[in-house]
């Protein structure tokens, strides 16, 4: 049965940049249970304090600021790892209870729990014998 709760990626508007650098779209998985959706985003290099999550008018925005690894004047012989902040937005169905959204971050992985509103949860209908 198809879910009535949807999370769709939106076309992202350019983020307001407060410093020079790149913005990366973190890769995400969104598993669903009967009670919630969980957005799992890989955001290596971000500290817990560098994460900002906003939910406004049905749009969930996740941002992660990555600390500069090297001095600005560093001379590199080889560069294989791009460093930049993370930014991604999702349009969230009204079937999510925004007052109960929670997030946790460990080992470079952000988990945002999006609990379903009671009316969106599947409900078992009891069948009674007709009299």
Give me the phi and psi of 96, to 5 degrees please.
-100, 140
Q: Looking at the predicted structure, is the pLDDT value of residue 100 above 90?
A: yes
Torsion of CA 111, 108, 12, 18, to 10 degrees: 120
- The Cα–Cα gap between 65 and 51 comes to 6
Domain coordinates in residue numbering, the chain: 23-119
Q: Among 2.30.30.140, 3.40.50.300, 3.30.420.40, 2.60.40.790, name the CATH number for the domain at 23-119.
A: 2.60.40.790
pTM for this predicted structure = 0.74
Q: How far apart are the first and last CA of the chain?
A: 32
Tens of pLDDT, residues 40-76: 999 999 999 999 999 998 899 999 998 888 888 888 8
Decide: 86 and 43 in contact? Cβ < 8 Å.
yes
């Amino acid at each position: 049965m198809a879910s009535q709760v949807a999370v769709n990626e939106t076309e992202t508007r350019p983020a307001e940049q407060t410093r020079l650098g790149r913005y990366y779209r973190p890769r995400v998985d969104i598993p669903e249970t009967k009670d919630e959706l969980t957005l799992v985003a890989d955001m290596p290099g971000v500290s817990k304090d560098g994460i900002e999550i906003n939910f406004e008018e049905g749009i969930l925005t996740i941002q992660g600021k990555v600390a500069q690894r090297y001095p600005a004047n560093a001379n590199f012989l080889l560069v294989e790892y791009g460093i930049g902040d993370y930014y991604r937005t999702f349009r969230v169905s009204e079937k999510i209870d925004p007052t109960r959204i929670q997030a946790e971050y460990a080992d470079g992985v952000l988990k945002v729990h999006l609990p379903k509103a009671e009316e969106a949860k599947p409900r078992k209908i009891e069948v009674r014998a007709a009299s």
